[in-house]
Amino acid sequence: MEENKKVAFYTLGCKLNFSETSTIARSFQAEGFDRVEFDEDADIYVINTCSVTENADKRFKSIVKQARKRNEDAFIAAVGCYAQLKPEELAAVEGVDLVLGATEKFKITDYLNDLSKNDFGEVHSCEIEEADFYVGSYSIGDRTRAFLKVQDGCDYKCTYCTIPLARGISRSDTLENVLKNAAEIAAQDIKEIVLTGVNIGDYGKGEFGNKKHEHTFYELVKALDEVEGIERLRISSIEPNLLKDETIDFVAQSKAFVPHFHIPLQSGSNEILGLMRRRYRRELYTDRVRQIKEVMPQACIGVDVIVGFPGETDEHFLETYHYLNELDISYLHVFTYSERDNTLAADMEGVVPKRVRAKRSKMLRGLSAKKRRAFYESQLGTERTVLFEGENKEGYIHGFTENYVKVKAPWDPALVNTLHRVRLTQIDEDGMVRFEFVENTVLHT
């Protein structure tokens, strides 16, 4: 009896990519393939690529090398954002057999013939204007939490960003299908759903293929809160100009949505925000943080920030640094600006030397550690609910509170994917929080 072919996946980039990889993996399993880990021997290796930074581009080649080292005869396919932007470049990488663009990646099994190696990578990539239809996705079985895609593409024109070129126009899943997918996730005993997309605050635009908004993000949040069986719902990155008071107020009294927001800032200088063509000014960002903290004082707020954007002087950078230092936020995701082809920023004057970019990045990463520590200290002595993860990391199990405090305890497999009420007690030397169980703490197993 012939064994099933084996397929393995590697995902670069964002939560949205993880949700799409999981959906692509299910299409393989429906065709009779067995899914294995990427470090195992497989017949096919699928790499879901990212193009947000130069570093993600470079990592692709090393991942291809890993796959070839595992099985030099394996069929290697590249999908995702980098595959859409630079398909010929990926196809030229030694060992790559197939490159699929934005619309083709969800039909990958249609492009597989006898899995024989190609002398040159075969490319199937549409013009990005053709990426105008929606494909729903969610991750399941990969993690304790699920990533649920609700929206794709972006109509914003930020001068540094390639995402509209890689993913096309803003478009949304139907509300009916989002709720159906959420119910399917709930049926798998997954306790937490993270909403994901390119610009999720724009949800409702492009639903049913219409240009207008059928529903708003607020209506989506309200409807998801009613789905039975989901303990936690978490909003991933959302633009500050699209995070409305009504959504903040609803989350504050929601049954399932947790007090955690990740809001891109990118710069604390209004002048640089203008050069980036962001759709807000610093004052609006300040107001969003103030509004969240007013109704949810214990909320965790994460911030994206880019350093070294063209034209960013020392004064601009210090303006950002001092602004963030004073702001009541919990942690930073720091991105060092890298030039991307076909973006306006790549041709701007005032290029910041890479050594200066690196120095500024290091300063903000230090500020992030300080902010996270201060936030964790503010939570000591409080009672929180922890959802425990499924991985044994050097003898410890980790988990997250509803407001995104990372905790650790000695490994106990009985805790995996369970919710417990705990009291946060101390910060360990590695920056994670220790706790003690509150009596009768098992909430859901």
pLDDT digits (tens, 9 = 90+) for 233-244: 999 899 999 999
CATH code, 266-291+302-379 = 3.30.750.200
The pLDDT confidence band at residue 1, using thresholds 50, 70 and 90, is very low
CATH 3.30.750.210 residue ranges for the chain: 132-258
- Domain 132-258 classification at class level: alpha beta
Q: Average of pLDDT values for 101-125?
A: 80
Q: Is the pLDDT of residue 42 over 90?
A: yes
pLDDT digits (tens, 9 = 90+) for 396-434: 999 999 999 999 999 999 999 999 999 999 999 889 999
Give all strands (DSSP E) within 287-405, no chain letters: 300-307, 331-336, 383-388, 396-401
Distance CA(127)–CA(34), nearest Å, equals 32
pLDDT, position 186 = 92
Q: Is the pLDDT of residue 66 over 60?
A: yes
- Residue 429 has φ and ψ, to the nearest 5°, of -65, -20
Q: Is the pLDDT of residue 440 over 70?
A: no
Classified by CATH at the fold level, domain 383-444 comes out as OB fold (Dihydrolipoamide Acetyltransferase, E2P) (2.40.50)
Burial 222-259, CB ≥16 within 10 A → b, else e: bebbebeebbbbbbbbbbbebbbeebbebbeebebbbb
Q: Indicate left, alpha or beta for 222 from its phi (over 0: left) and psi (-120 to 50: alpha).
A: alpha
pLDDT, position 236 = 84
pLDDT digits (tens, 9 = 90+) for 266-325: 999 999 999 999 999 999 999 999 999 999 999 999 999 999 999 999 999 999 999 999
Q: CA 394 → CA 37, 105, 131, 397, distances in Å?
A: 20, 36, 44, 9
Under CATH, which architecture does the 6-126 domain have?
Answer: 3-Layer(aba) Sandwich (3.40)
Select the more confidently predicted residue: 87 or 266.
266
pLDDT, position 137 = 84
The pLDDT confidence band at residue 206, using thresholds 50, 70 and 90, is confident
CB count in 10 Å sphere of residue 115: 13
3-state secondary structure of 397: strand
pLDDT, position 391 = 86
Tokens representing 116? 């024989």
DSSP secondary structure, 245-304, as one string: HHHHHHHHT-SSB-SEEEEEEE-S-HHHHHHHT-SS-HHHHHHHHHHHHHH-TT-EEEEE
Q: Is the pLDDT of residue 187 over 60?
A: yes
CATH 3.30.750.200 residue ranges for the chain: 266-291+302-379
The CA-CA-CA angle for residues 404, 405, 410, to 5°, reads: 125
Burial 411-444, CB ≥16 within 10 A → b, else e: eeeebbbbbbbbebeebeeeebbebeeeeebeee
pLDDT, position 302 = 98
For 86-95, 138-147, 258-267, which range has the lowest pLDDT when averaged over its residues? 138-147
CATH 2.40.50 residue ranges for the chain: 383-444
pLDDT digits (tens, 9 = 90+) for 340-398: 989 999 999 999 999 999 999 999 999 999 999 999 999 999 999 999 998 888 899 99
Q: Average of pLDDT values for 154-167?
A: 92
pLDDT, position 397 = 95
Of the chain, the end-to-end C-alpha distance in Å amounts to 39
The pLDDT confidence band at residue 443, using thresholds 50, 70 and 90, is low
Q: CA 186 → CA 183, 274, 288, 328, 384, distances in Å?
A: 5, 42, 31, 34, 22
Residue with tokens 């996946």: 9
Calculate the average pLDDT of the chain: 91
Question: In this prediction, what percent of the chain has a pLDDT beyond 70?
Answer: 93
Confirm if 318 and 326 have CB atoms less than 8 A apart.
Answer: no
- Select from 392, 391, 422 the least CA-distant residue to 407: 422
Give all strands (DSSP E) within 39-185, no chain letters: 44-49, 75-80, 98-100, 122-124, 145-149, 151-152, 171-172
pLDDT, position 135 = 75
